[in-house]
Structure 1
Amino acid sequence: MIKIDAMMVCLDLSDIDEKLVAFARSICDRMEIRKVYFVHNIKVYELSDDFKEWFGDVDLASEIEGNIQDIVAEHFEGGCEHEILVSEEPNTEVILADLVKRYKIKLTVLGKKMSDKSTGALGTKLLRILPCSVLVFPETARFNIQKVLVPIDFSDTSEHALRLSKNLSDQLRLQLEIMHVYRLPRQFFPLISQEKAVKKAEEVVKSKFAELQKRHQEMSSVPYTLVRAANKSIAERIILHLEKGNHDLLVLGLKGNNPLPTLSLGSVPTELYNTDIHVPLWLVYSEDAIQ
């Protein structure tokens, strides 16, 4: 069973906050979450001189905390234990990373607006700096999760994400599908035919799936899909399959202390984050506890 002692929900005082709080409530309903921290950081240096002159005597942190309390009272009623944290620091990424370490956060929930409303620059920075798993909730996503897609590259990291996905699917009775996107090494063409190369590549990948199922027999019944990247990026192939299969959640593994993976996954999480997908994206950090 997946247990999360501490979860952090990042709020920005925009319309998406209500959806994030309600989504956090739905997570608490379906998973074992001990405590949730609703957090917001005020970048004081971004306040205009006019604002400071007009409202200089206002306790801005208290006002914002009251606003968040109202949202939590409306959309988190009956949820698990929670606390509201409002800080005033010049660097939001640094203070959030500090909160993750201070409160031993295992999962951070981030909202994501569509690209025509936001650049997503802060979210990209947080993916690089937060030492915990990150669950990205797009403003167009729905709460009702029934189908999970987990792309893997057969690394230890992706297997960790797969085990978590299987655990989650068993716990919540969800449909789970494994996916692998492969590329053909172009340097061998035209020495060998493309048809032979595809056949050989699929044989190799299928043997890796067989080895994976031997190591983790609980995966033997999980369907998997093998997709050739061809003229598209790995992230583009994942998105196409995500839409075609009507999945509700995408899970990817992250590596090391710097969550953005290297090697075969490359910049896949970054590209997926910067694309307007309409399902939650769970980027799984390797220290998540699966019990």
Structure 2
Amino acid sequence: MIAINAMMVCLDLSDIDEKLVAFARAICERLPVDKVYFVHNIKTSELSEDFREWFGEVDLASEIEGNITDIVSEHFANAAPHEILVSEEPNTEVILADLVKRYKVKLTLLGKKSKGKSTNALGTKLLRILPCSILVFPETGAFNIEKVLIPIDFSNTSVHALRLSKNLSDQLGLQLEIMHVYRLPSQFFPLISEEKAVKKAEEVVKEKFTALQKQHPEIVGIPYTLVRAANKSVAERISLHLEKGRHGMLVLGLKGNNPIPSLSLGSVPTEIYNSDINVPLWLVYSEEVIK
């Protein structure tokens, strides 16, 4: 059973906060969550001299905490025990990573605005450094999740995400679909016919699925789809299939074996995050990777 001992919800005082808090409530109503931390950091470096001249030494932290309290009272109520944390630090990523470690946060909920409204630069940084799994909720997202897409590449991290998704579907009655995007070694064309290459590639992948099902019998019966990347990236194929299948959530496993934090996220999750998908994106780290 999936249970969350602590969840952190990152707020930025924009319009998306209300949706994010309401989505946090939806999670708490469907999964056991011990405690939720609603957090916001005031970047002291962004407080200009003009601000100080106009407003003086106002207790900004108390004002913001009051604003967040109003939103939480309206959209979260008493869905789970919760606490509001407002800090004043020059580096938001560092303080949030520290909160994850301090409160043993297992899941961070992060809002994402559409392209044109924000660069989402802070979100990209948080994906790279927060030592926990992250659920990204786009401003166009919906709460009624019924179908979940899990792309896998047969790595340990993607298999972990798949097994976690299976546990989630058993708890909540969700429909799962596995997806694998493959590429053909085009440098060998026309020496080998494209038709034969496609057939051989799909045979190899199906053998991998069979071996995976033998190793993890709990995933037997979950439908899977093979998609050729062709002239598109893996992330683009995932996005197209996500829209075509009308899935309500996308789950991706994250690799964490690179010692350089800025390189540990992976190109596919990065490209997916930076695209305009309109469903929640669950980026999953395994406990071993986090440790």
Residue number in structure 1 paired with 2:53: 53
Matched, 1:208 2:182: no
CA shift, 1:13, in A, is: 0.2
CA shift, 1:213, in A, is: 0.7
CA shift, 1:48, in A, is: 1.8
Task: Output one character per residue of 1:76-130: Cα deviation in whole Å (capped at 9) or x when no partner.
Answer: 1121110111000111111111111111111100000001100111111111111
Q: Please, which runs of 5 or more residues in structure 2 have no aligned partner?
A: none
CA shift, 1:257, in A, is: 5.9
Matched, 1:237 2:261: no
Residue number in structure 1 paired with 2:125: 125
Q: Distance in 2 between matches of 1:72 and 1:137?
A: 17
Cα distance change, pair 25–288 in 1 and its aligned pair in 2 (3 A): farther
Residue number in structure 2 paired with 1:138: 138
Task: Output one character per residue of 1:238-261: Cα deviation in whole Å (capped at 9) or x when no partner.
Answer: 011000100000000011266788
TM-score norm. by structure 2 comes to 0.95
Residue number in structure 2 paired with 1:100: 100
TM-score norm. by structure 1 comes to 0.95
Residue number in structure 2 paired with 1:281: 281
Instruction: State the secondary structure of the residue aligned to 2:89.
Output: coil
The residue type paired with residue 22 of structure 1 is A
The residue type paired with residue 108 of structure 1 is T
| RMSD over equivalenced CA pairs, Å | 1.6
Q: How many matched pairs?
A: 287
The percent of aligned pairs where both chains have the same amino acid is 80
The residue type paired with residue 87 of structure 1 is S
Q: Is the 8 A contact 1:254 1:261 kept in 2?
A: no
Q: Is the 8 A contact 1:110 1:123 kept in 2?
A: yes
Q: Is the 8 A contact 2:10 2:39 kept in 1?
A: yes
CA shift, 1:190, in A, is: 2.2
Q: Distance in 2 between matches of 1:102 and 1:185?
A: 47
CA shift, 1:57, in A, is: 2.3
Q: Is the 8 A contact 1:255 1:261 kept in 2?
A: no
Q: Distance in 2 between matches of 1:93 and 1:191?
A: 51
Q: Distance in 1 between matches of 2:188 and 2:4?
A: 47
Q: Please, which runs of 5 or more residues in structure 1 have no aligned partner?
A: none
Q: Is the 8 A contact 1:127 1:260 kept in 2?
A: no
Instruction: State the secondary structure of the residue aligned to 2:35.
Output: strand
CA shift, 1:32, in A, is: 1.1
Instruction: State the secondary structure of the residue aligned to 1:58.
Output: coil
Q: Distance in 2 between matches of 1:145 and 1:212?
A: 26
Q: Distance in 2 between matches of 1:27 and 1:185?
A: 43
CA shift, 1:237, in A, is: 0.4
Cα distance change, pair 288–266 in 1 and its aligned pair in 2 (3 A): closer
Matched, 1:115 2:115: yes
Cα distance change, pair 266–127 in 1 and its aligned pair in 2 (3 A): closer
Residue number in structure 2 paired with 1:79: 79
Q: Is the 8 A contact 1:260 1:270 kept in 2?
A: no
Q: Is the 8 A contact 2:129 2:262 kept in 1?
A: no
Residue number in structure 2 paired with 1:32: 32
Name whichever of 148-157 and 186-195 sits farther off.
Answer: 186-195
Cα distance change, pair 175–79 in 1 and its aligned pair in 2 (3 A): same
